């Protein structure tokens, strides 16, 4: 290897810096413009990082669980008694639900209704959080080989967590619902009975979401539950988003500003689930419409 | 030896940056690759610092929700700036290196924020509060890491070796063997 003199190095350094800066700038411009399906570098780096992140996560969660199990021994007896009672109550409920399900099936068959295809649930583990503290993303240990695809919802037992934004063969990157630009269709109360439909998005604050486009004439109470509507084309209907924490009322012409506390513990999650849900395909763009783009018309 | 030490330090820094946030959220306020890149630049390893800056920046960006290349851009620029300052100003003392780490961290945060704004991307965390915590965390961690890296430096190893032979040399000087003289 040729040894360079110090002066040569000092002469080369600014040019090397400019070349590297230009390379990074072009990479940023490309990444800002690219859709999620084309993020090759990101996806393969995540796949490689899995071999580092997974063992560390396994070790740390084992250690944490060990110490937690020691600390929870004290309350074990009381908790055990409470859980036994709850099991008995649930057994009664399950029996009642079984009877209702039988009745439902027989009624459906009478009406000749087809069963809707239900989506499957794939359990996953968070193996890494965003290494840059500026964003709220995470890496899970499931990828395209397990059937995970872009935009699939992520949930845990609390409720909705986010969606998949990049997929490698063995891992996937997810964005949390608190990311500012993420928006999803939400309804306060039950869909079909409530008029309080709006858009839920992050507002730059941790652990708080904002819901907009709710008319000022609709009454909203603190503590009401918010669910997904299924109309955004990403999330299925009925997923729990959170609870109304604060309402800034509007008027007949001004919409209300509603703040929601997410029901899922977004910053203390380890075990999550991927909903293998694919929304119905949208109809192909109608090319005969008068507002079809000029390019489409020229191609014809 | 020094080159190997810095290369290993960068690899370990990137691995720590990938994994430690999952252990505890406190670690997200420490930028390990930045600390090592500033160290490399202070050792006047300019070319290595620039290359490490780019590679470690892209490695962190790939697992992040931000733009790919943003960290690479900021760390390359900081590596160049620090190495140019180190060439002109004496910065071998740890007390002088502490404000360098702090300044680099602040500049890194400002540039990262500015680049994302330029490309129309919003950050998920409040800027001032996050930058302040990051400045404190990175400076403290950087000071500790520099102390550890300094204890592994070649010069300190040579000094310790010289120290163990000094009494023997003094003995030789006191009783020199004069060849051919009466």
Query: For every one of its 182 residues, what pLDDT tens digit does chain B have, with 9 covering 90 and above?
Result: 778 888 999 999 999 998 888 878 888 899 999 999 999 999 888 888 999 999 999 999 888 888 889 999 999 999 999 999 998 888 888 899 999 999 999 999 999 999 999 988 878 788 898 899 999 999 999 999 999 988 876 555 555 444 444 444 444 555 556 555 54
Determine the pLDDT at residue A152.
92
* A292: pLDDT strictly greater than 80: no
Point out the residue among A136, A204, A206 whose CB comes nearest to the CB of B65.
A136
pLDDT tens, residue by residue, A211-233: 988 888 888 888 999 999 888 88
pLDDT tens, position by position, A115-134: 554 678 889 988 888 888 88
Please report residues of B whose CB lies closer than 8 A to that of A8.
none
Q: Are A107 and A193 contained in the same domain?
A: no
Q: What is the pLDDT of residue B97?
A: 92
What percentage of chain A carries pLDDT values higher than 90?
A: 13
In a domain, A89, yes or no: yes
B122 vs A contacts (CB less than 8 Å): 180-181, 204
In B, minimum Cα distance to A43 occurs at B62
- Are residue A27 and residue A111 in the same domain, yes or no? no
B102: number of Cβ within 10 Å:
16
Residue A4: pLDDT above 70? no
Q: Shortest Cα distance from A38 to chain B (angstroms)?
A: 13
> What pLDDT is attached to residue A99?
79
- Which range has the top average pLDDT, A38-52, A230-244, B159-173? A230-244
Same domain, A218 and A101: no
Q: Are residues A111 and A126 in the same domain?
A: no
Q: Tell if the CB–CB gap between B69 and A128 is shorter than 8 Å.
A: no
Q: Do B72 and A17 touch (CB under 8 A)?
A: no
Domain containing A90 equals 75-115
| A207 and A197 Cβ atoms separated by less than 8 Å | no
Which residues of chain A lie closer than 8 angstroms to B85, CB-CB?
none
Residues A53 and A79 in one domain: no
pLDDT, residue B161, reads 47
What integer pLDDT is reported at residue A153 of this predicted model? 92
Same domain, A218 and A259: yes
Is A153 a member of any domain? yes
d(C-alpha A43, C-alpha B72), whole Å: 17
What's residue B112's pLDDT? 93
Which H helix or E strand runs over A258? strand A256-262
Residues A53 and A93 in one domain: no
> Are A213 and A126 part of one and the same domain?
yes
Cβ partners under 8 Å of residue A271, min gap 6: A123, A124, A125, A126, A156
pLDDT at site A1: 47
CB contact under 8 A, B62 and A42: yes
Q: Which fold has domain B2-174?
A: Arp2/3 complex 21 kDa subunit ARPC3 (1.10.1760)
* Chain B interface test: which of A15, A25, A132, A265 (most B C-beta within 10 Å): A132
User: Which of chain A's residues have a Cβ under 8 Å away from the Cβ of B130?
Assistant: 133-134
- Cβ A134–B123 below 8 Å, yes or no? yes
- Number of structural domains found in chain A: 2
Query: Which residues of A are less than 8 Å from B13 in CB distance?
Result: none
pLDDT the model gives residue B74:
95
The residue ranking higher by pLDDT, A197 or B158, is: A197
Query: Is A283 part of any domain?
Result: no
- The pTM assigned to this predicted structure is 0.74
The Cα of A166 is separated from the nearest Cα of chain B by a number of Å equal to 10
Please give, rounded to a whole number of angstroms, the shortest distance from the CA of A44 to a CA of chain B: 9
Q: Could you tell me the pLDDT band of residue A44, with boundaries at 50, 70 and 90?
A: confident
Best of A16, A134, A179 to substitute, by most chain B Cβ atoms within 10 angstroms, is A134
B28 and A138 Cβ atoms separated by less than 8 Å: no
Tell me if A139 and B63 make a contact (CB, 8 A cut-off). Answer: yes
Is 80 exceeded by the pLDDT of residue A35? no
Which pLDDT belongs to residue B164?
Answer: 45
In the predicted structure, residue A267 carries a pLDDT above the cut 70 = yes
3-state secondary structure of B30: coil
Tell me if residue B100 falls in helix, strand or coil.
helix
Contact B74, B105 (CB under 8 A): no
- Closest-CA residue in chain A for B13? A131
Residues of B in Cβ contact (< 8 Å) with A60: 22-23
Closest CB to B65: pick one of A32, A52, A137.
Answer: A137
Q: Is there a single domain that holds both residue A13 and residue A32? A: yes
Tokens of A273: 């689930």
> What b/e string do you get for A75-111 counting C-beta neighbours within 10 Å, with b at 16 or more?
eeeeeeeeeeeeeeeeeeeeeeeeeeeeeeeeeeeee
- Chain A residues with CB under 8 Å of B59 CB are 45
Cβ distance B50 to A13 less than 8 Å, yes or no, reads: yes
Contact B130, B106 (CB under 8 A): no
Q: Is the pLDDT of residue A279 over 90?
A: no
**Average pLDDT of span A273-300:** 63
How large is the average pLDDT for residues A37-61? Answer: 78
Tell me if B68 and A42 make a contact (CB, 8 A cut-off).
Answer: yes
User: Residue B67 is encoded by which pair of tokens?
Assistant: 């733009």
Residue A284 domain flag = no
SS3 (DSSP) at B136 = helix
Domain boundaries, chain B: 2-174
The answer to whether residue A293 is domain-embedded is no
Pairwise CB contact (< 8 Å): A57 & B72: no
Q: How many CB pairs under 8 A join A and B?
A: 166
Q: How far is CA A39 from the centre of its chain?
A: 19
Chain B, nearest residue to A36 by Cα: B65
The per-residue DSSP string of A205-220 comes to STT-EEEEEE-TTS--
**Is A222 found in the same domain as A188?**
yes
Disruptive mutation site among B77, B80, B124 for chain A (greatest number of A CBs within 10 Å): B124
Domain shared by A150 and A30, yes or no:
yes
Higher-scoring residue by pLDDT: A195, A213: A213
Residues 6+ apart with CB under 8 A from B57: A24, B33, B69, B70, B71, B72, B73, B74, B75, B76
Residue A265 confidence (pLDDT)? 80
A16 shares its domain with A148: yes
Of B60, B69, B119, the CB nearest to A24: B69
What is A38-83 written as a DSSP string?
G-HHHHHHHHHHHHHHHHHHHHHHHHHHHHHHHHTTTTHHHHHHHH
Contact B39, B7 (CB under 8 A): no
Instruction: Identify the CATH number of the domain in which residue A29 sits.
Output: 2.40.10.340
Q: Name, of A102-111, A259-268, B158-167, the range with top average pLDDT.
A: A259-268
Cβ of B69 within 8 Å of Cβ of A28? The answer is: yes
């Amino acid at each position: 290897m040729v040894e360079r003199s110090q002066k040569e190095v000092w002469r080369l350094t600014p040019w090397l810096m400019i070349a590297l800066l230009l390379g990074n700038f072009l990479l940023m411009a490309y990444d800002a413009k690219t859709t999620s399906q084309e993020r090759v570098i990101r996806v393969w780096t995540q796949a490689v990082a899995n071999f580092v992140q997974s063992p560390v996560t396994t070790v740390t969660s084992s250690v944490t669980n060990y110490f937690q199990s020691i600390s929870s021994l004290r309350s074990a007896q009381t908790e055990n008694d409470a859980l036994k009672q709850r099991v008995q109550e649930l057994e009664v409920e399950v029996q009642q639900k079984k009877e209702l399900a039988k009745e439902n099936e027989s009624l459906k068959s009478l009406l000749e209704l087809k069963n809707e295809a239900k989506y499957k649930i794939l359990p996953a583990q968070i193996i890494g959080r965003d290494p840059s503290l500026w964003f709220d993303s995470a890496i899970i240990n499931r990828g395209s080989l397990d059937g995970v695809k872009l935009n699939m919802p992520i949930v845990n037992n609390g409720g909705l967590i986010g969606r998949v934004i990049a997929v490698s063969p063995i891992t996937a990157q997810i964005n949390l619902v608190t990311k500012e630009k993420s928006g999803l269709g939400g309804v306060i109360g039950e869909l079909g009975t409530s008029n309080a439909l709006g858009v839920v998005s992050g507002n730059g604050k941790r652990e708080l979401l904002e819901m907009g486009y709710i008319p000022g004439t609709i009454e909203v109470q603190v503590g009401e539950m918010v669910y997904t509507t299924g109309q955004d084309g990403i999330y299925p209907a009925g997923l729990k988003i959170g609870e109304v924490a604060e309402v800034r009322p509007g008027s007949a012409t001004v919409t209300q500003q509603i703040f929601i506390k997410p029901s899922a513990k977004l910053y203390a999650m380890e075990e999550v689930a991927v909903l293998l849900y694919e929304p119905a395909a949208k109809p192909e763009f109608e090319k005969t419409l008068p507002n079809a783009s000029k390019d489409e018309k020229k191609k014809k | 030896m020094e080159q190997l030490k810095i290369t290993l330090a960068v690899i370990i820094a990137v691995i720590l940056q990938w994994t430690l946030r999952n252990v505890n959220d406190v670690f997200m306020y420490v930028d390990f690759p930045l600390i090592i890149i500033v160290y490399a630049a202070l050792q006047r390893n300019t070319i290595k610092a620039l290359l490490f800056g780019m590679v470690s920046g892209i490695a962190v960006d790939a697992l992040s929700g931000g733009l790919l290349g943003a960290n690479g851009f900021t760390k390359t620029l900081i590596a160049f700036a620090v190495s140019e300052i180190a060439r002109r100003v004496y910065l071998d003392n740890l007390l002088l290196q502490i404000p360098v780490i702090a300044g680099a961290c602040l500049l890194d945060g400002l540039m990262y924020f500015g680049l994302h704004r330029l490309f129309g991307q919003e950050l998920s965390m409040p800027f001032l509060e996050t930058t302040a915590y990051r400045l404190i965390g990175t400076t403290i961690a950087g000071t500790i890491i520099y102390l550890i890296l300094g204890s592994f430096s070649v010069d300190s190893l040579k000094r310790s070796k010289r120290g163990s032979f000094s009494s023997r040399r003094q003995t030789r000087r006191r009783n020199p063997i004069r060849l051919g003289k009466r």
